Amino acid sequence: MDYYTKTQLKNYNSFKTEALAKIFCQPTTIEELRKCLSDYPHEKKLIIGGGCNLFFTKDFDGLVIYPNIKGLREISDEEEEDEDIFLEVNASENWDEFVAYCVERGFVGLENLSLIPGTVGAAPIQNIGAYGAEVKDVIREVVAVDMETGETLSFSNAECEFGYRDSIFKRTNKYLILSVVFHLKRTFVYVPKYADLNKELEDIEEPSVQDVRDAVIRVRQRKLPDEKVLPNAGSFFKNPYITQEHADKIKAEYPDLPAFPYKDGLVKTSAAFLIDKAGYKGKRAGDIGTYPNQPLIIVNYGSADGNDIVRFMNEVQGAVKSIFGIELEPEVRIF
């Protein structure tokens, strides 16, 4: 395995921001991965999967690890019944190819998460979610290396401490995920939840798992920008959770504010709605702006750099805060 210095990271993040990595390597086996951790014990480390949830505002002063460790195997389990299927998938497998593999075989549980760009290893980091499904619902175990000690650890679902776009891995930045063990099912019943998806499936009496995947892909392709054509990193901000009282106050002026009941008296509202009403739907400042079909996505129309993105982010946050009293928190990782 070679080490490269001053490596340009523009093609390793879907926002296409420029930055140099002090050291860069691409381990293709677990042994190589261990070697790069032990060769550079004192360097700051950053793992890049598909680079679809991060961007750079400055050079990275440390070791960037871009693993290419692939593989998938079905595993048997003593408790396994005909209904259950367990798969261990290595971190560098492409997420959507893995979803397609499962759906083709009738394995149930990942279909709502179709077409999310990136790798399998990054999926637990922010507990990826879409259309009411979260990857935590189908993860049995995550195998990871502690980057400080080199120890390989297995995290049960509970030990991953999953939350809304959150996990122990995201909070600590300490572990390099090697593989994820998924627990999928064979029986499928479509449960209507999200309006866009329900509408897309309304003519099918009993949608199959493949029907749902196809519908998710159609809806997403219509509404969301393809990061390979128009650089972006997906939803820029998390959806905020506010008190019912706060929601009622906003509703007095904006009666169509989405408010989905959560727990402890909180409701989830839509960051996209707030950005839209703050006047930022489709708004552009030079090469940076929000996507006209989905203002929660900030796009790079040309040569915007990471600092342009941060400036625009601050502007959107300021506008939403002053009108609604809500602090939008970025979902995208900023380096």
Residues 53, 14: Cα–Cα separation, whole Å: 8
Active site residue 235: yes
Q: Which of 6, 73, 193, 222 is the binder for ligand NAP (CB under 6 A)?
A: 193
* Contact track, ligand NAP, 117-156, x by CB under 6 A: ------------xxxx------------------------
- Each residue 174-213 as x (binds ligand FAD by CB under 6 A) or -, in order, gives --xx------------------------------------
Residues in 264-323 that interact with ligand NAP by CB under 6 A: 270, 272, 294
> How many chain residues interact with ligand FAD (CB under 6 A)?
32
CB atoms within 10 A of CB 224: 19
Nearest-approach distance from CB 137 to ligand FAD, in angstroms: 13
- What tokens were used for 141? 């175990």
Strand pairing partners for 289?
A: 284, 299
Judged by CB, which is closer to ligand FAD: 51, or 289?
51
For ligand FAD, which stretch binds (CB under 6 A), given 25-33, 110-118, 249-257, 317-325?
110-118
* Residue 224 in the binding site for ligand NAP (CB under 6 A): yes
- Closest to ligand NAP by CB, 101 vs 194, is 194
Query: Which residue in 165, 167, 213, 220 is the catalytic one?
Result: 165
Q: Of the candidates 49, 35, 81, which has an alpha carbon nearest to the alpha carbon of residue 180?
A: 49
CB atoms within 10 A of CB 46: 20
Tokens of 63: 């070791």
User: Using CA atoms, how far apart are residues 131 and 212, in angstroms rounded to an integer?
Assistant: 11
Catalytic residue status for 218: no
Q: Which residues pair with residue 290 across a beta bridge?
A: 298
What is the C-alpha end-to-end distance of the chain, expressed in Å? Answer: 25
Q: Are strands 139-146 and 175-185 parallel, antiparallel or unpaired?
A: antiparallel
241 interacts with ligand NAP by CB under 6 A = no
Complex with ligand NAP: residue 149 or 243, whichever CB lies closer? 243
Q: By CB under 6 A, is residue 54 in contact with ligand FAD?
A: yes
The per-type count for the chain, helices as H runs and strands as E runs, is 8, 20
- Subset of 121-140 contacting ligand FAD (CB under 6 A): 121-123, 125-126, 128-130
Half-sphere exposure for 258 (CA within 13 Å, toward CB) = 17
Cβ proximity of 258 and 242 under 8 Å: no
Rounded Cα distance, 254 and 324, in Å: 10
Q: Which is nearer to ligand NAP, 129 or 163 (CB)?
A: 129
The smaller minimum CB distance to ligand NAP, of residues 157 and 270, is found at: 270
Distances 287 to 8, 207, 235, 284 between C-alpha atoms, Å:
21, 41, 18, 7
Residue in 289, 291, 279 with CA at minimum distance from that of residue 312: 289
Nearer to ligand FAD, 26 or 119 (CB): 119
| Contact partner at residue 176 from ligand NAP, ligand FAD, none, CB < 5 to 8 Å by partner kind | ligand FAD
Which residues are the active-site residues?
Answer: 165, 235, 331
| Contacting positions for ligand NAP (CB under 6 A) | 129-132, 193-194, 196, 223-224, 234-235, 239, 258, 260, 270, 272, 294, 331
